[in-house]
Each structure stands twice: as structure tokens, then as C-alpha cells.
Chains A and B, each alone.
Chain A
Amino acid sequence: MRRMDPRPSITPPSGGPRITRAQLFAAFSGIALAGFGGVLPHARRMLVERKGWLSDREMTELLSIGQLLPGPNIVNVGILFGVRRCGALGALAAAAGLLVAPLVLVLVLGAAYLQFADLPWLKGAFQGVGAVAAGLILGMGARLAHGVPPRPAVVALGAAAFAGVALARVPLAWVVLALAPLGVWLAWRSRA
């Protein structure tokens, strides 16, 4: 059925269905455009439920690696999935699918904002919108905190990350380079 395709996709080692780069691009565009305020839930809906490209367990594994790696989580997921199914160009197709259409949209919004940002009667509205944006992130942080066991070392680590960035305003690179290895070391030891 895919014989006509001049650049057939690589059959994955796990024996899942064949996927072309165009299909990857389209699926990840769909994921990106469906998501308001976070697209990760839509990745599961598309890849597991609609396309059947991954099992539930494979999806969970993919998500956890994507979130472990630095960088935008969903882009990591796209790259990991794209490489495994279609090689390097597959990774590119997935990442492009995630970013290109929303980028165009957001640049149009940004251009509109440049036009209207200085209107005095909109100043209050923008302040309100900004405060809600901050609130959304705080709320998400609280949700994340819910999933972490409240052991003293864990709380201290989280508090140190918060204090370093929010209060002391230390560059993020220093905070992460100091605390991430410490956290991993503590977690490693607690399982020894």
C-alpha cells in the first residue's frame, strides 16, 4: 500500500504500523493546534487513541523520557517518537508539525499586540491577562507538587529551587546545575 511512496518510512523494531513523514507532520500539527494551555494530554489522545501508533504503556514511557530531558516537553516527545519511527527526518517532521502552524498563529497575534499595546484603555486588560497567566503557572506548579512525595529532602530541594530563582534571582543555569545532580543523587541513594 505504501509502495508508491518514493521514500518509504522505516518499519519500527517494535513492529508497529508504518508511518510516513507527512503523516507524522499532520498528526503532530493536529496535537499542537488542539492544545490550549498545554498540549501533552492531546498527544496521548492522538497517538494512542486516534492513530493507534502507541500502546498506553509506550506512551507513558515516551512522556516520562520527554519530560526528563531539558527543553520543551512536547517537542522532545515528537523527536523521540519521530526518530524511532522515521529516522532523523521523522524527528524533523514531528517537530515542524508541532511548531510551524502555531508559530504563524502566534506571530500574527504578536503583530496585533504590537499595534495595540500602547493604547491606554487596554493597559488594564493586559495587566489582568498577565496576572492570570502567572496564576495559571502557579496553579500548574501546585498540581505538579501534588504528585511528589513530601519527604523533607524533597521539600528542601523544591524550596531551594524556588528561592534561588524567585527570591535570590540567581541565573537558572547555576540553580539547575547545582540542584539537579543533588536531587538525582539523593533519589539514587534512597533506592540503594
Chain B
Amino acid sequence: MELLGHLAVLSLVSVGGAHAVLPDLYRVVVTEQAWLTGTQFTTLVALSQAAPGPNVLVMALIGQQIGGVALGVAALVAFCLPSSVLAYLVARADLRAAGARWARAVKEGLAPVTVGLVLASGFVLMTGTGGNWAIHAAGAAAAILTATTRASPLLLIALGAAIGAFA
């Protein structure tokens, strides 16, 4: 229940999508409540990246690990519903009437916040992953390859598993 309430609040402040709220979720789920370990949490993030579908499905995985399938489904709904209602209301309103200047100011104003939040997410997950230097080097290499090439995330995750297994 606590998890669902927290997710519903995060839904409305998730500027930058599902990835931006992961550090806050990590804080609650791993650091404060100890429902999952850091490695479990980051593995679930990886699983959601390796599976087809939107990133937001990580919420279902986290809920499922904590309290079974029902909590998994409820966690996904709790995170999607508030923002979806907002999107519905926005779609009903005529946005063009609100003016292009406002829309551009919101877009430009939120962009740097989004960047900071997404980078924070990667940082928190990286520090939360256990393992030796080789594992963290694999993570750093994945970051560089993702930033500079069109490397397949699936391939990188598979390589990470191999390096982790043998390192």
C-alpha cells in the first residue's frame, strides 16, 4: 500500500519519464524499507530494459518481487494512472489556445531538469550495483557506447551478464 501511494505521487513529478523516478524509488524500496537489495533493484531495471515494451514496466517488476503478481499489476497502474488522467485532461483542453510561447518555455525549462534526473538515475543505480571493478567498467563502457553509438541495449546487457559471470 505504501509502495502504491508513493508511486502515485511519483507519477505526477516524473519529469523525464519512468527512468527519472528510479533514484527516489531506490531510496524508498532499498535504502529505507529494505524490501529489495540494491543488486535486485538494478537487475529488475535491466530485465525491463532487456524485455520489449516501455521502460515503465519496471514498476510492475518491482511490485511483483515485493508482493507478487497482484502488487506488480497494481504498481504499474498506480504509477500510470495519475499522469494518464492529467494527459487526458490536457488532450481535452485545446493546447494551441494556451500559446506557443508557454509551451516552449515549459519545454526549455524542463529539459535541463530532465537531463539532471536521468543522469542521477544512472549514477544511483551504478553505485547500488554490487560487484568488482570489471563489472563497473562494463557499466561505464555501456554508458559510453550508448552515448556515442547505436549499440543494441540487448547486446550490451548480454555482454554485461557474461562479464559479470566470469569476472
Are A and B genuine complex partners? yes
- Interfacial residues, chain A to chain B (CB-CB below 8 A): 32-39, 64-76, 79-80, 83-84, 88, 91, 95, 98-99, 101-103, 105-107, 109-111, 113-114, 117, 121-145, 147-148, 154-155, 157-162, 164-166, 169, 171-173, 175-177, 179-180, 182-188, 191
Which secondary structure characterizes the binding site on chain A? helix
Q: Let me know if B2 is at the binding interface, CB within 8 A.
A: no
Cβ contact within 8 Å between B43 and A75: no
Cβ contact within 8 Å between B54 and A127: no
- Measured CB to CB, the closest approach of chain B to A83, in angstroms, equals 4
- Asked if A129 meets B113 with Cβ closer than 8 Å, knowing A102-B52, A140-B146, the reply is no
Cβ contact within 8 Å between A129 and B46: yes
Q: How many residues of B contact A (CB 8 A)?
A: 112
Cβ contact within 8 Å between A161 and B112: yes
Cβ contact within 8 Å between B103 and A68: yes
Digitize B97-141: 1 where CB-to-A-CB distance is under 8 Å, 0 elsewhere: 000011111111111111111111111111011110001101111
- Interfacial residues, chain B to chain A (CB-CB below 8 A): 9-15, 17-24, 27, 31, 39-57, 60-61, 64-65, 69, 72-73, 76, 79-80, 82-84, 86-88, 90-92, 95, 101-126, 128-131, 135-136, 138-147, 152-154, 156-157, 159-167
Cβ contact within 8 Å between B166 and A187: no
- Measured CB to CB, the closest approach of chain B to A41, in angstroms, equals 11
- Measured CB to CB, the closest approach of chain A to B124, in angstroms, equals 5
- Asked if A127 meets B39 with Cβ closer than 8 Å, knowing A79-B87, A162-B119, A165-B124, the reply is yes
Nearest B residue to A172 via CB reads: B24
Which secondary structure characterizes the binding site on chain B? helix
Cβ contact within 8 Å between B139 and A131: yes
Q: Which of A73, A126, A143 interacts with B164 by CB under 8 Å?
A: A126
Cβ contact within 8 Å between B45 and A65: no
Cβ contact within 8 Å between B91 and A148: no
